[in-house]
A and B are shown apart, each in its own frame.
Chain A
Amino acid sequence: MSDTLEKPPPQPSGTARGGRPAPRRSARSLTDLVFRIRELSIGGALALLILGTYLVNPGFLDDQGVQDLLLNSAILVLLATGQSVVVLTRNIDLSVGSVVGLTAFACGSFVSGTQHSAVTVVLLGTGIGVLCGLVSGLLVSFGRVPALVVTLGMLYVIQGAGHVWAHGRQINAVNVPDGVLELGSGSVLGIPYLPLISAVVLAATAYYLRAYRSGRELYAIGSSPEAARLAGIPIRRRVLAAYAFSGAVAGFAGALWLARFGTVVADAANGWELTVVSAVVVGGIAITGGVGTVLGAALGALLLTTIGSSLVVLKVNPFWEQAITGALLLAAISTDRVVRSRTTEALRKRSRN
């Protein structure tokens, strides 16, 4: 029996803009807490990891160490941001690693021996990435082929095309214009450009997903495609756009890759797609869509990168990195399941009394 009718009229919403939490803990604060717990626990793990490594080897946190950490994670954070947008719609993009490799190589070929500016390179990379993303996106949204298959196919196609084109050649840093390399190695106020760029993209994406109708619709599509259809959301267009974005980010990352390393081969970021997906899932974006934030995904990427760096500093066999990543992934998915069923139960009780 519902006794909602006998309840006092709804109090002025305690969680209204800028307000303090109401005395009665609202359902929102409960779920908010759940997600914040995720971000806080990853942040905490990150802090502990950094602290532990620092205690063993204080060199880990000197200026150079911090710079390395930021530089190493910048591209993964960027890719995780793009991947998040796709995963939120209950899809996946496994082609990102090969897109990074292809664009890095293509940009390298384009600028080798020329004096093109960093802007041109970034635009070229992003453009190639968008094209790759559009192909995957069209097949997934309008072709109705499962995302896993499409993007796995794209992964191999792009990788293969890259190999054929490169034919064993590599781009050498000496041929890359200084203006481009400066993008990868320069810094402002001691902070390298790359992490700054990632942070800007991350912040813009986070804001877009929260503040725009089309951003919320991505969550809606992932949460319930059927309900999204009934709500009149243009699902195919949104999914296509998500893939185009993920592709653009991957292409952008490819250009940055060239800027950072200078010397690249065609399969530069081989295998990164799985690291990216792991980062996203560890960061709290449900692989079934509709739940999570890009901020969490970025923290996930930061955590995975830091683990890799710490292991090197701690002189642990680097093969452990994969095992640890895997364990984290499993832990993340298991906690998601438990937390979700617990909150559902709590919310159900709340709606009964």
Chain B
Amino acid sequence: MTQPEPGAAPVPVLALEGVSKSFGNVRALQGVDLALHAGEAHALAGENGAGKSTLIKILGGVHTPEAGTVRLDGSPVVFAGPAGARDAGIAVIYQEPMLFADLSIAENIFMGRQPRRALGRIDHGAVREATAALMRRLGVDLDPDRPARGLSIADQQIVEIAKALSFDARVLIMDEPTAALTGTETARLFSVVEALRAAGAAVLFISHRLEEIFRLCRRVTTLRDGRLVATEALEGLTEDDLVRRMVGRDLEELYPKQDTTPGARALTVRRLTREGVFHDVSFDVRRGEIVALAGLVGAGRSEVVQAVFGVDRADAGEVEVDGTALKPGSPTAAMDAGVALVPEDRRQRGLVMEMSIERNIALTGLDRLGSAGMVRRSLERSRAADWAVRLRLKYNRLTDTAGVLSGGNQQKVVLAKWLATEPGVLIVDEPTRGIDVGTKAEVHRLLTSLAEEGIAVLMVSSDLPEVLGMADRVLVMHEGRLVAEIPRADATEESVMAAATGRPIKRPSER
């Protein structure tokens, strides 16, 4: 470690003091402090929903804090949008980089800042040369002229880092950059970041993989539920210490999973294939069982469950529910057979935001709520009220629009909507993404009790602790293929991540 001792540099390059930010009713950050020093790698730890993304977006000029100060070299600043932060030398690399798919890598890097010739004309040659030079410096072979479309996530991040290099970023902020990378790619990224840090850049690093935090960083700031837990040197800490600070509660409480004895096969998927998306996926889910479908972003998990439910048509393979083959490409047939899909993006696919809570809940069973094509309002209302109680929904009136609810409560409405169809097979896609820890525990409790009632649950999740805490079996996908099936007893963070990143780890219990 050649990093300076904590506190060696008196004035931080970039600092937050008592920063708060809310979205609607949700308080994302409350009075958080953070100081980033030149030449030091700093880690930001916290669970999903702890406020890390909000903090980054404040540093990156995307959000303005409601209270508190952002300081650049000791003086308070208010960034005029992302461009203001960039001009101050702050580069943010988001988990899923946002590039201009139609434009070349060179244009992506220099957009708005292209070197110019006389009369303000872009010097395309210089842009290309500068990009080629950046690529050489990063040691990668990417053609500056190829469009960003089709780049792997790792290469997209390289483009973002090249962009940071191109304006000599003094602060490099990375939001889970390694989540979708293979081992080699992670190593390449780390050597680049280490070089930047050694050259004097301040680095803020976010990762769910704690060993990476210990490998790269000197100090760590932990957030929980939008509040600062601690900022401390990593030296002398253990991974368990960090987890305790992040979680701040019993894991048992968050993942109330009981062992169950699985019943008959409820859902059978055989050799399901969709060209270019996923290949030859076979698995089954039994009654009373929670099966998790794990993998990296883009591994094809959501696509598989959508094909199972019939939203997308598979090119080959079949799906059986209780031994009867489902008509392919027909969500109606799937619903009739007792399958429910709670989709990933509840804002776009799960809820009609402008409609009332009760109408949203009633949407899936309209024909059961009346006769001759008419819906009876009283039935609609009583059903909604039933579910609101069962799911401990927090709301003012059932006639409020769904949009006013917090993320967690919206998710409960989506669940209610599908549970009202009394499914035998429940498919949930990222059931707790972006919802607070308290509601998360409730959703988990609900899923567990549903499984105990004999429902077969298939859960797509990127939240590793959730996968490990909830699932009876873990199916892991990598680049469109099902690469591992790990029973609860053998499922660890390492075994799942190894399979998800395609790292060949030989274990007797696998395959």
Which residues of chain B are near A347, meaning CB under 8 Å?
A: 146-147, 149-151
Which residues of chain B are near A230, meaning CB under 8 Å?
A: 60, 62, 82, 92, 98
Which residues of chain A are near B276, meaning CB under 8 Å?
A: 345
- Find out whether the CB atom of B150 lies under 8 angstroms from the CB atom of A227: no
Q: Mask for B123-146, Cβ within 8 A of A = 1, else 0?
A: 011001000100110011111111
- Find out whether the CB atom of B145 lies under 8 angstroms from the CB atom of A233: no
Stretch at the interface among A74-82, A215-223, A254-262, A313-321: A215-223
B interface residues, tally (CB under 8 Å)? 51
- Find out whether the CB atom of B146 lies under 8 angstroms from the CB atom of A229: no
Enumerate A1-58 residues with CB–CB distance to B below 8 Å: 1-2, 4-5, 7-10, 13, 15-17, 26-28, 30-31
- Find out whether the CB atom of B112 lies under 8 angstroms from the CB atom of A9: no
Query: Do A232 and B99 form a contact, CB below 8 Å, given A4-B140, A16-B128, A26-B145?
Result: no
- Find out whether the CB atom of B101 lies under 8 angstroms from the CB atom of A223: yes
- Find out whether the CB atom of A220 lies under 8 angstroms from the CB atom of B144: no
Task: Tell yes or no: A167 within 8 A of B by CB.
Answer: no
Which residues of chain A are near B421, meaning CB under 8 Å?
A: none
Selected from B101, B135, B143, B152, the residue in CB contact (under 8 A) with A224 is B101
Selected from B98, B99, B120, B152, the residue in CB contact (under 8 A) with A2 is B152
Question: Range of interface residues on chain A?
Answer: 35 or more
Minimum C-beta distance from B470 to chain A (A): 30
- Find out whether the CB atom of B128 lies under 8 angstroms from the CB atom of A232: no
**Nearest residue in A to B60 (C-beta to C-beta)?**
A230
Which residues of chain A are near B185, meaning CB under 8 Å?
A: 2
- Find out whether the CB atom of A344 lies under 8 angstroms from the CB atom of B150: yes
- Find out whether the CB atom of A290 lies under 8 angstroms from the CB atom of B136: no
Query: Do A1 and B502 form a contact, CB below 8 Å, given A226-B98, A233-B111?
Result: yes
Which residues of chain A are near B101, meaning CB under 8 Å?
A: 223-224, 290
- Find out whether the CB atom of A350 lies under 8 angstroms from the CB atom of B146: yes
Task: Tell yes or no: A343 within 8 A of B by CB.
Answer: yes
- Find out whether the CB atom of B81 lies under 8 angstroms from the CB atom of A232: yes
Minimum C-beta distance from A47 to chain B (A): 28
Q: Give Cα distance in the complex from A222 to B103, angstroms.
A: 10
Which residues of chain B are near A286, meaning CB under 8 Å?
A: 102
Query: Do A229 and B82 form a contact, CB below 8 Å, given A5-B188, A290-B100?
Result: yes
Minimum C-beta distance from B167 to chain A (A): 11
Q: List 26 A-B contacts (CB under 8 A).
A: A1-B182, A1-B502, A8-B141, A26-B145, A26-B146, A27-B145, A31-B147, A211-B122, A212-B120, A216-B111, A219-B103, A220-B111, A220-B112, A228-B111, A230-B62, A230-B92, A231-B83, A231-B86, A231-B111, A232-B84, A233-B83, A343-B149, A344-B150, A347-B146, A347-B147, A350-B146
Residues of B within 8 A of A (CB): 60, 62, 81-84, 86-87, 92, 98-104, 107, 111-112, 114, 116, 120-122, 124-125, 128, 132, 135-136, 139-147, 149-152, 154-155, 182, 184-185, 188, 276, 502
- When A and B form their complex, which 4 residue pairs have the shortest distance between CB atoms, in order from nearest? A232-B83, A27-B146, A347-B150, A28-B145
